[in-house]
């Protein structure tokens, strides 16, 4: 039995191609793995702690040798919430990330969440020579991304998500791109339908 963290970086909409392909994947995945634990994290519906001034100052104080109990109450609350997101990622065996491409990049909500999983001392560490090494292993991930144009995985969003996941130790990162619907509007429905087929196929081996 695996724990699957599904990170959704798209507001709910019946018109969303991102969510349509994600649903195709999840419906098939649940059929194949009925006993797996699915944890959905909708970044547009839940509040999660982003990096801010209190987080930065808390890190600085802890690095200087102060204890968690020495922090202000606001710092303690915010840092605890931030760490909850990190721990949620660490507890997952599989991670599914679904988002639209916005201005060649992932949505700001997703970037803020990714900051919570890219944490020195938890998901990676620095050696004595200053080299960064990952601290996670054995995880696999799927990145579903929809875009109106066609980028052939050369957009910054694709490269960023894969790069960060690899950086923290997730080496198995599958990618499902849903692209070109706005560039080829007469083919939009078929592009999405083909992506749904691919999503179900990926679910078979994920």
Q: Residue 129: which pLDDT band, with cuts at 50, 70 and 90?
A: very high
Sequence-ordered list of residues with C-beta below 8 angstroms from that of 170, at least 6 positions apart, any chain: 95, 136, 139, 140, 141
**CA distances for 177 relative to 45, 60, 157, angstroms:** 24, 39, 11
13: pLDDT strictly greater than 90: no
Distances (CA, A) of 11 to 18, 108, 158: 10, 12, 19
Cβ neighbours around 10 below 10 Å, total: 22
- The mean of the pLDDT values for the chain is 96
Indicate which CATH number applies to the domain containing 167: 3.40.50.360
* Number of neighbouring beta carbons within 10 Å of residue 27: 13
Which residues make beta-bridge pairs with 98?
A: 8, 144
Handedness of CA 43, 48, 54, 60 (dihedral sign): negative
Is the pLDDT score of 30 beyond 90?
yes
For range 175-198, the mean pLDDT = 95
**Is the pLDDT confidence value at 61 over 90?**
yes
Strands 3-8 vs 94-100: parallel, antiparallel or unpaired: parallel
How many residues are given for the chain? 206
Residue 169: its pLDDT value, please?
98
Residue 28's pLDDT is what? 98
- Residue 153's pLDDT is 80
Structural domains in the chain (count): 1
Confidence of residue 12 (pLDDT cuts 50, 70, 90): confident
- For 141, the domain range is 3-205
Q: Give the per-residue pLDDT at 89.
A: 99
pLDDT over threshold 90, residue 20: yes
Percentage of residues of the chain with pLDDT beyond 70:
100
For residues 71 and 78, give the distance between their C-alpha atoms in angstroms, rounded to a whole number.
Answer: 11
Q: What pLDDT digit, counting tens, does each position of 115-124 carry?
A: 999 999 999 9
Radius of gyration of the chain (CA): 18
Q: What percent of the chain has pLDDT over 90?
A: 94
pLDDT, mean of residues 176-195: 95
Please classify residue 162 by burial: count the beta carbons closer than 10 Å to its beta carbon, then call 0-12 exposed, 13-18 middle and 19+ buried.
middle
pLDDT digits (tens, 9 = 90+) for 89-115: 999 999 999 999 999 999 999 999 999
Q: What is the dihedral of CA 8, 13, 14, 20, to 10 degrees?
A: -20
User: Can you give the pLDDT at residue 154?
Assistant: 86
Contact criterion met (CB below 8 Å) for 6 and 96: yes
């Amino acid at each position: 039995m695996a724990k699957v963290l599904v990170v959704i970086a798209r507001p709910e909409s019946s018109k969303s191609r991102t969510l349509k392909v994600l649903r195709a994947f999840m419906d098939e995945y649940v059929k194949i793995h009925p006993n797996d634990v699915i944890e959905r994290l909708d970044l547009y519906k839940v509040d999660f702690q982003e990096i801010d001034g209190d987080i930065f100052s808390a890190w600085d104080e802890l690095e200087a040798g102060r204890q968690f109990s020495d922090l202000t109450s606001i710092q303690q609350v915010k840092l605890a919430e931030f760490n909850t997101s990190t721990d949620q990622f660490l507890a997952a065996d599989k991670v599914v990330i679904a988002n639209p491409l916005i201005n060649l990049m992932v949505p700001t909500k997703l970037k803020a969440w990714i900051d919570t999983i890219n944490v020195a001392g938890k998901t990676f560490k620095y050696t004595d020579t200053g080299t960064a090494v990952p601290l996670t292993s054995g995880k696999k991930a799927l990145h579903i991304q929809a875009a109106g144009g066609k980028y052939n995985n050369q957009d910054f969003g694709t490269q960023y998500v894969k790069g960060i996941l690899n950086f923290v130790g997730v080496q198995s990162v599958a990618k499902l791109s849903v692209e070109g619907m706005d560039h080829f509007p007469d083919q939009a429905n078929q592009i999405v339908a083909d992506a749904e087929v691919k999503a179900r196929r990926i679910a078979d081996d994920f």
